[in-house]
Amino acid sequence: MVGPAPFVEIGKKAKDLLTKDYYFDQKFTLSMLSSTGMGLTATGLQKDQNFFGDINTVYKSRNTTVDVKVDTYSNVSTKVTVNDVWPCSKAALSFRIPDHKSGKLDVQYLHPHAAIDSSIGLNPSPLLELSATIGSNELYLGGEVGFDTASASFTKYTAGINLNKLDFSAALLLTDKGQALKASYIHSVNPFTSVAAEMAHRFSTYENTFTIGSFHAVDPFTVVKTRFSDNGKVAMLCQREWRPKSLVTFSAEYDSKARKASPKMGLALALKP
């Protein structure tokens, strides 16, 4: 079924080109998948002098997926997703132990001309969230709203529109409760090269920001990305698929306004035997 994407997808293509896979720490990921539908992923992240890790187990059976994650702080996060609860829908129940107030129920409904996502916290004073888009896969518009029942106040309200074509995608978002306007654009120059830009304007301070970036596939196994922001930060990324589904990624960032600071560098290794 082809219809409008969920609201969270508005502007995501450009954002992914500008931010995805940039790591300025050391990250290691090992993923294994069995023929029975069981998947296991171990992740380790070293940030400055601190080490964080987690083990994630995913089990799929027919239309149900169970996802359990345990981190280094002994937090256990569980998510149970059921597809086709009724036609074109799915529901997900998630909670985290020992936080007894973390329970949440998410429901998504996809229609050829609409997409609706809703979320409610499973506690006495829940946080309610609702987003919806209408239109087609090529052109759609929508909005999202969040309401905190504890304080009887809106936590967010956002509106946006997205246009998709074969070689480009453009999006416009009114964010931060109407206080900021964000525009993004991504263009496929050729099958190997893409460029993207994101610009934002804040009405209260008249502040303008922008970020531009590029993506280039050097060969079928090597990708190079670059990024430049108005704050003077320049970043680059080189990703190599050194074996099927196994990636090594090197990232670097230099802040031209902080001349005494050393450039940030990161290395990420993802293994999928």
Q: What is the domain-level CATH number for residue 228?
A: 2.40.160.10
Most confident residue range from 46-50, 116-120, 240-244: 116-120
DSSP category for residue 99: -
Residue 20: φ, ψ to 5°: -65, 135
Give the domain range for residue 199: 7-271
| Residue 91 located in a structural domain | yes
- How far does Cα 200 stand from its chain's mean position? 19
pLDDT band at 55 (very low <50, low <70, confident <90, very high): very high
The identity of residue 31, as a single letter, is S
What percent of the chain is modeled with pLDDT above 90? Answer: 84
pLDDT band at 1 (very low <50, low <70, confident <90, very high): low
- How far does Cα 101 stand from its chain's mean position? 24
| Residue 70 located in a structural domain | yes
| Residue 2 located in a structural domain | no
Residue pLDDT, tens place only, 12-34: 999 999 999 999 999 999 999 88
| Residue 1 located in a structural domain | no
For range 95-108, the mean pLDDT = 92
Residue pLDDT, tens place only, 174-189: 999 999 999 999 999 9
pTM value? Answer: 0.90
| Residue 205 located in a structural domain | yes
Q: Are 112 and 1 in contact (CB under 8 A)?
A: yes
Residue 140 pLDDT exceeds 80? yes
Q: Are 45 and 53 in contact (CB under 8 A)?
A: yes
User: What does the alpha-carbon distance between residue 42 and residue 56 come to, in Å, rounded to a whole number?
Assistant: 6
| Residue 54 located in a structural domain | yes
pLDDT value at position 49?
A: 82
**What torsion do the CA atoms of 146, 151, 153, 155 make, to the nearest 10 degrees?**
-40
pLDDT value at position 13?
A: 96
| Residue 204 located in a structural domain | yes
For range 119-144, the mean pLDDT = 95
Q: How many domains does the chain have?
A: 1
| Residue 264 located in a structural domain | yes
